[in-house]
């Protein structure tokens, strides 16, 4: 379990950093461009690649060492954050350049989530799977439970670019934790890819399971609707609150809601 705890510490730190960036960019988008659609585009570019690339990332996590995938994902997402910092350094930041950096960071971070969840089975005994999954979910939820209030306090003091640099630092911390675990427990041997058809079948395996099990399909459908509603609230809360409250109060409200 000690290797899992090290990995969870990295997840907690990275989740906090990601939440700081998400909150700071959303506030910046609204205060700079003045529209809820700008906030929505930032949120969409941050989360859509993670969802859309999940099947491919899961297939990669099954065929390559999962800790290595996490190192590449967390370390590579720093490149996207660097693009955002460069865009913000210009006299008149363009929303398109900011969104490009967010998409790049999100695409690379998409490698991390499936590999992280699958690593639980590599690091703990079967009787500890449920407890470990709960701890992992709790650590990942820090971006909603802690980051908004913390970002609301830091944003007026340090500025947005400082939050982005802090997020990049947390990504490197997470990559270091994953690398340490990989060195301690050894690399997981890669599986053979086989033919191109095998790769496609493996990538689409999750969809075939959903198609074959109506109860599971109904559960996923219910979760999709709930996530859509919560995501709508998350996008709208800042345009609703910011005209009447500062960033600190908005951050506290989001943390309480989470």
Specify the higher pLDDT residue, 203 or 142: 142
Tell me how far apart the alpha carbons of residues 119 and 1 are, in angstroms, rounded to a whole number. 12
> How many domains is the chain partitioned into structurally?
1
Q: Identify the DSSP state of 195.
A: S
Residue 171 structural domain = 2-257
What CATH number has the domain bearing residue 97?
A: 1.20.1250.20
Give every CB contact of residue 123 below 8 A, 6+ residues apart in sequence. Answer: 1, 3, 4, 7, 132, 181, 185
DSSP class per residue in 142-181: HHHHTHHHHHHHHHHHH-HHHHHHHHHHHHHHHHHHHHHH
Instruction: Report percent pLDDT > 70 for the chain.
Output: 84
Place of tokens 């470990």: 132
Please write the tens of the pLDDT for every residue from 56-106: 777 776 777 767 777 777 777 888 888 998 988 888 888 889 999 888 888
Residue 244 has phi, psi (to 5 degrees) of -120, -10
Model confidence over 93-107: pLDDT tens digits?
888 899 998 888 888
Name the one residue in this structure whose structure tokens are 């306090």: 153
Residue 113 reports pLDDT greater than 90: no
Distance CA 147, CA 247 (A): 12
pLDDT at 233: 83
Give dist(CA 160, CA 151) in Å, integer: 9
C-alpha–C-alpha distance, residues 152 and 20, integer Å: 9
Least confident of 120-129, 166-175, 192-201: 192-201
Q: How far is CA 136 from CA 19, 97, 116, 156, in A?
A: 16, 33, 9, 31
Whether 150 has a pLDDT exceeding 90, the answer reads: yes
The C-alpha atoms of residue 128 and residue 123 are separated, in whole angstroms, by 10
């Amino acid at each position: 379990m000690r290797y899992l705890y090290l990995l969870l510490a990295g997840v907690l730190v990275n989740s906090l950093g990601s939440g700081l960036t998400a909150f700071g960019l959303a506030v910046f988008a609204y205060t700079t461009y003045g529209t809820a659609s700008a906030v929505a585009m930032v949120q969409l570019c941050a989360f859509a690649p993670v969802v859309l690339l999940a099947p491919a990332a899961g297939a990669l996590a099954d065929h390559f060492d999962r800790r290595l995938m996490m190192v590449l994902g967390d370390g590579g997402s720093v490149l996207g954050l660097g693009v955002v910092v460069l865009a913000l350094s210009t006299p008149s930041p363009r929303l398109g350049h900011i969104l490009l950096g967010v998409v790049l960071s999100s695409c690379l971070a998409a490698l991390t989530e499936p590999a992280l969840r699958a690593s639980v089975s590599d690091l703990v005994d079967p009787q500890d799977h449920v407890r470990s999954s709960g701890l992992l979910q709790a650590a990942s939820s820090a971006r909603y439970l802690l980051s908004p209030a913390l970002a609301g306090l830091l944003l007026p003091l340090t500025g947005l670019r400082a939050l982005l640099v802090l997020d990049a630092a947390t990504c490197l911390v997470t990559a270091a934790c994953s690398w340490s675990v990989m060195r301690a427990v050894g690399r997981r041997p890669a599986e053979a890819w086989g033919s191109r058809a095998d790769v496609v079948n493996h990538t689409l395996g999750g969809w075939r399971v959903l198609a074959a099990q109506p109860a599971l399909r109904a559960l996923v459908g219910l979760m999709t609707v709930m996530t859509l509603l919560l995501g709508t609230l998350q996008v709208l809360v800042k345009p609703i609150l910011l005209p009447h409250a500062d960033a600190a109060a908005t951050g506290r409200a989001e943390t309480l809601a989470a």
